[in-house]
Homo-oligomer: A and B are copies of this chain.
């Protein structure tokens, strides 16, 4: 790859994150590091029972403990905070009943953490137990003891979509397969736990520092819950140590810290323990996928009928998006002309699920890419060839009206096939060693915002400084993905200046313009477009103002940018420009918008080949190598794209091989990093990952860029599953792909053969 993309000075040249040095040296200040004068420590009391009415809470002894400044219970909050209209309402602290072990029951603010802990022990809660629902399929049959009274059969959401004529297509299919796949719940396990510092001001405003992906949503939520004007709430995002979707919903502790601070007029910080982070969850749901696919004799897909049941936990959260993406994004990678989808989001008495990297698509992709391999095997078609026969033909609209305008998927396949030596090696390796291929894709941000329609998606303000530097004011939230440096690069490129001249103030609702947040891989595309537009406007303004000033004094119009800048700043006190971006109407789902198909202005594509070695004695899988190609439109910052691809693959391999949240009677059995076992750098699931950047140059993206940070994850899991099949001939249809399951399958296979 050349140092920069052809024709560019900055774009395409790898640049470190702006706070990279601070992060790796330990100097970065995270919310939990912060203190304020008079700050108190907040702690939350969690439910010890999975489902019960709260008969009585007595906080008097806790409140009387010296050093305790505030105690708060659920019915003291002026309002609830759930994400209307997409889900039902949710309370920061349980009102009247608790719905899972870990639910919030009360909170205190005290001089020290030890006093706060002691105060929690003094809170007396009397519960009247209700029947608890732990299994989603069982929960769907519930007639009484409903988790939410207004959700019959504990069904939170049911999507039933039908595009094309599925039954007719199945009827004329050469082969129809029906399979059931299962995926357990997995969670984000970001290195930084949730933490919030809220400081109520005596003038009626409140300032909140929080480890969040969505400062502007948090601002709105706190304003709603505490009945304050939105502009009286200032949310600032300090350094964030990973979110992966787990901080893309407002988390109860953020609202609780604000409420405690309001109640006692002192700053209050709550930092969750690792255990509390696990109990907060909001990760990927446990999911059953029933997948039916019909193909013609050449392997061309004729119809797909997918049904899924998601175990959503006790609250809705972003669940409707999860279940929506699970069905409707199936159509966005291969040509599927007839698609039926039944998706159930079911409530259970466990922590709530939500958004997690690859939101909604990962489990479905495991099922789909596994089944595609099974069909290819049945038809004797090479898995790569099977995928090539079913490519989309963009620019196009899918059957459910997703607009696909750039499509690097064929090139992704070519790259990993070539690099892995697929043609030469597939089927010719010793027993126990196998190759598997899979594809995936993801949205580049939601074309329709999750929870408010009155916000521009992204906006950026850009100011010319008097020392020849430029300052970007951006609402976008860098949570480790590098969007800060991305904006610097775009602005430097447009202005034609060295990136060292561009500075950035970001993610502070008090001083930066609105941005919806860092989720759904929207930031490079949307905020990048806003930054690009702001820079274009600023450049125009600099030349316009300087030319006018020169004309007025009869002097020549400046031709050089720095000269124009100097003259413009002399002539005008302030040179500032704005840019904002919202997806165009055409990308918003068209006539299916009402059905909420979850469209995006652009889609990324991935193809991966996994090479595995399976030990038939122990069932252990060793990943030898992953070749991962990702179509990110244009790689604005190649090292960041590569980092995201490798990170996604690594997270996918964790889910593929080892991660799983385990509950016993509603109690999470492995709420710790040692027990939960996300892959660490020394793990088996940290193989050699070779990434390939494919640049399809999206017509709408900034300089052609699109999604890079989530899409790769979903391909890794089926690629490994397919490689295991290739290695030892067993097909595991339930995640994680553990030695136990592989051994059991090998035994059954042997028995069947015998």
Contact = CB atoms under 8 A, between A and B. Distances in A.
B569 A573 contact: no
Given A473-B511, A530-B573, 19 more contacts: A18-B203, A22-B203, A25-B202, A27-B38, A34-B37, A223-B467, A230-B469, A231-B465, A232-B503, A454-B466, A454-B569, A459-B573, A459-B574, A466-B514, A505-B511, A513-B574, A573-B582, A574-B580, A576-B576
B203 A573 contact: no
Interface string A477-521: 000000000000000000000000101010010110110000000
Nearest to A19: B203
Nearest to A265: B27
Contacts of A465: 230-231
Interface in A166-210: 201-203, 205
A470 B232 CA distance: 10
A203 B232 CA distance: 31
Contacts of A25: 202
A447 to B, nearest CB: 16
A57 interface: no
A455 interface: yes
A689 to B, nearest CB: 28
A144 interface: no
Contacts of A27: 38, 201-202, 265
A229 interface: yes
Nearest to A508: B511
A29 interface: yes
Given A29-B36, A202-B27, A469 B21 contact: no
Determine how many copies of this chain the complex contains: 2
Interface in A625-644: none
A300 interface: no
Contacts of A456: 573-574
Contacts of A573: 456, 459, 513-514, 530, 578, 580-582
A109 B582 CA distance: 49
A160 interface: no
A466 B471 contact: no
A730 B455 CA distance: 74
A230 B467 CA distance: 6
A36 B201 CA distance: 20
A112 interface: no
Contacts of A232: 469, 503
A19 B229 CA distance: 18
Interface string A105-142: 00000000000000000000000000000000000000
A35 interface: yes
A570 interface: yes
Contacts of A572: 580
24 contacts: A18-B203, A21-B202, A25-B202, A27-B265, A29-B37, A230-B466, A230-B467, A231-B471, A231-B503, A232-B469, A232-B503, A454-B570, A455-B466, A459-B574, A461-B576, A471-B510, A473-B511, A505-B510, A505-B511, A514-B574, A573-B578, A573-B580, A576-B576, A576-B578
A33 interface: yes
Contacts of A21: 202-203
A467 B22 contact: no
Contacts of A469: 229-232
Q: State the main secondary structure of chain A at its contact with B.
A: loop
A574 B466 contact: no
Contacts of A463: 513
B570 A574 contact: no
Interface in A706-750: none
- 8 closest A-B pairs (Cβ-Cβ)? A573-B580, A456-B573, A231-B469, A230-B467, A511-B511, A33-B37, A21-B202, A231-B465
A232 B465 CA distance: 11
Nearest to A457: B573
Contacts of A574: 456, 459, 461, 513-514, 578, 580
Interface in A18-59: 18-19, 21-22, 25, 27, 29, 33-38
B22 A202 contact: yes
Contacts of A466: 230, 454-455, 514
Interface string A216-254: 000000010000011110000000000000000000000
Contacts of A582: 573
A747 to B, nearest CB: 55
Contacts of A223: 467
Contacts of A35: 35, 37
A271 to B, nearest CB: 13
Contacts of A37: 29, 33-35
Nearest to A230: B467
A229 B469 CA distance: 8
Contacts of A201: 22, 27
A297 to B, nearest CB: 53
Contacts of A514: 466, 573-574
Contacts of A459: 573-574
Interface in A410-469: 454-456, 459, 461, 463, 465-467, 469
Nearest to A267: B29
A332 to B, nearest CB: 28
Contacts of A505: 510-511
A497 to B, nearest CB: 12
Contacts of A580: 572-574
Most chain B beta-carbon contacts within 10 A, residue among A19, A231, A265, A508: A231
A170 to B, nearest CB: 46
A245 to B, nearest CB: 25
A35 B39 CA distance: 11
